[in-house]
């Protein structure tokens, strides 16, 4: 269970991206001496002891053609808005610079905990520089060196220690869902159509979305919550149009939802940016429904739906479990399919299969199509048990987990889906050695 979010801020070249990569345990992304090298990954999950939190590197969120000060301002705004803990990275090689002081001034205004990490504290002499950072007025600085791996245990301890106790907010007993998709696919229009009222402003200006918080509503006597993806508003639209920022917003909305409606714009068809959004929905382990919007603009014959379905399946292979619906938010057509489908998907996410029934299916599957031997050794499944819901998670007790190959995992997954449905929810299957 993700406990919260930490965000890294700081001026360029202090080592934010190096620290980010160390913390998420990957060193793949490019670290370069040129300040402001674009990075692909800006969020990841960190596990420390028994805790798990999300980490954002705001240094990777950039606005084109904006002065440096504006960019830093935006990064700090986003950190303050999105994070539960802020890690302010500085450099022992340079000491507290005037830019650091400007950032500190902004951070002093937030009530959220801020940790000053003095990076590049590679040796004892550089470590003395920490005292220079008391002038930032943000408490005791911490020494780290991303290059030498110094101070990371202490830094992680501190992050966990100051992170507020709450778990990410979800709505108990209410089905909550969000509408995600790139700008202009029709998210606000769909939300409005679902709510049957013009609560939000929908305009033809790209990126205009409603300014609202999570919206509760009732449908056929049941309560639902639409989770909002709107972000920082005060600086106008520039933030919304930054793809990486909108991805962060979608991420936090998905975290708080049971089901995500992933929108595709039928007028423009599928583009690359859609794949990032779809990936988020899948990775989060929540229910997913693919909504092909603006169906009114598509020229149709009797094969169109089938052709588009095929295209969607081939572009989003990992979302093969997600049902697809074709709607027009503008004309309110087929919108009434959505709520029943959201219910069905949410039920599937929460479904628990009795152990004996599950074992019948899995052991039968093994009998019909036994695993192929690998280096003369064959996987044997003895027993299977569902250990979690949301997403449904299964453990197979086997002779040797290393023999459980991806293709066989797919096969077992398909058999479980054939038997029990699990519409719209990812399922996880692990193999464990029988003791």
| Three-class SS state of 179 | strand
369 is in an annotated binding site: no
> Any contact of residue 209 with ligand GDP (CB under 6 A)?
yes
181 is in an annotated binding site: yes
61 is in an annotated binding site: yes
Q: Which residues contact 207 (CB under 8 A, 6 or more apart)?
A: 183, 184, 237, 240, 241
Pick the closer one to ligand GDP by CB: 5 or 145: 145
| Strand residues in 277-403 grouped as ranges (E) | 287-293, 324-326, 381-388, 393-398
User: Is 145:19 a contact under the CB 8 Å cutoff?
Assistant: no
Tell me which of 17, 58, 130, 176 binds ligand GDP, using CB under 6 A: 17
> Any contact of residue 175 with ligand GDP (CB under 6 A)?
no
> Any contact of residue 14 with ligand GDP (CB under 6 A)?
yes
> Any contact of residue 59 with ligand GDP (CB under 6 A)?
yes
SS (H, E, C) 22-63: HHHCCCCCCCCCCCCCCCCCCEEEEEECCEEEEEEEHHHCCC
Question: Contacts with ligand GDP in 246-305 (CB under 6 A)?
Answer: 293-294, 296-297
Site string for ligand GDP, 325-344 (x = CB under 6 A): ---xxx--------------
Longest dimension (CA), the chain: 75
> Any contact of residue 33 with ligand GDP (CB under 6 A)?
yes
Question: Contacts with ligand GDP in 116-135 (CB under 6 A)?
Answer: 119-120, 122
Tell me which of 117, 146, 259, 416 binds ligand GDP, using CB under 6 A: 146
Contact segment (CB under 6 A) with ligand GDP among 7-15, 99-107, 360-368, 403-411 equals 7-15
Neighbours of 424 (CB within 10 A): 24
Ordered alpha helix ranges (H), 32-143 = 68-82, 98-108, 124-127
End-to-end CA gap in the chain: 27
Site size toward ligand GDP, by CB under 6 A: 39
Can you say whether the dihedral through the CA atoms of 157, 159, 164, 165 is positive or negative? negative
Positions touching ligand GDP (CB under 6 A) are 10, 12-18, 31, 33, 35, 37, 59, 119-120, 122, 145-147, 181, 183-189, 202, 204, 207-209, 293-294, 296-297, 328-330
Annotated binding site: 10-17, 57-61, 119-122, 181-188, 228-232, 293-296
């Amino acid at each position: 269970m993700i406990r919260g979010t930490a965000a890294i801020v700081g001026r360029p070249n202090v080592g934010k991206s190096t620290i980010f990569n160390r913390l998420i345990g990957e060193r793949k992304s490019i670290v370069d001496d040129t300040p402001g090298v674009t990075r692909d990954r800006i969020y990841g999950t960190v596990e420390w002891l028994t805790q798990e939190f999300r980490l954002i590197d705001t240094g990777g969120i950039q606005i084109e053609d904006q002065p440096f000060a504006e960019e830093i301002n935006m990064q700090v705004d986003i950190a303050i808005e999105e994070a539960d803990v802020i890690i302010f990275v500085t450099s022992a090689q340079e000491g507290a610079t005037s830019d650091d002081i400007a950032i500190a001034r902004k951070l002093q205004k937030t009530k959220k905990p801020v940790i000053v990490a003095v990076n590049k504290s590679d040796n004892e002499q550089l470590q003395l520089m920490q005292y220079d950072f008391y002038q930032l007025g943000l408490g005791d600085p911490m020494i780290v060196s991303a290059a030498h791996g110094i101070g990371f245990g202490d830094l992680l301890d501190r992050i966990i220690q100051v992170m507020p106790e709450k778990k990410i907010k979800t709505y108990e007993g209410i089905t909550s869902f969000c509408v995600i998709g790139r700008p202009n696919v029709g998210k606000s229009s769909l939300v409005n159509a679902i709510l049957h009222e013009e609560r939000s402003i929908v305009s033809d200006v790209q990126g205009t979305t409603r300014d609202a918080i999570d919206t509760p509503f009732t449908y056929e006597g049941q309560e639902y919550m639409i989770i909002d993806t709107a972000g920082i508003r005060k600086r106008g639209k520039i933030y919304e149009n930054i793809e990486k920022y909108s991805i962060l917003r979608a991420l936090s909305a998905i975290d708080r939802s049971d089901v995500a409606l992933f929108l595709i714009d039928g007028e423009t068809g599928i583009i690359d940016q859609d794949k990032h959004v779809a990936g988020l929905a899948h990775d989060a382990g929540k229910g997913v429904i693919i909504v092909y919007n603006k169906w009114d603009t598509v020229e149709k014959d009797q094969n169109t739906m089938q052709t588009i379905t095929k295209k969607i399946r081939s572009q989003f292979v990992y979302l093969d479990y997600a049902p697809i619906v074709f709607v027009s938010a503008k004309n309110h057509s087929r919108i009434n399919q959505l709520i029943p489908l959201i219910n069905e998907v949410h039920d599937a996410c929460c479904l628990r299969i009795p152990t004996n029934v599950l074992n019948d299916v899995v052991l039968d599957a093994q009998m019909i199509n036994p695993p192929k031997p690998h280096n003369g050794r064959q996987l044997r499944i003895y027993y299977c048990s569902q250990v979690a819901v949301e997403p449904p998670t299964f453990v197979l007790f086997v002779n040797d987990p290393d023999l459980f190959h991806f293709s066989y995992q797919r096969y077992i997954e398909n058999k479980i889906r054939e038997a029990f449905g699990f519409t719209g929810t990812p399922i996880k299957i692990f193999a464990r050695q029988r003791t």
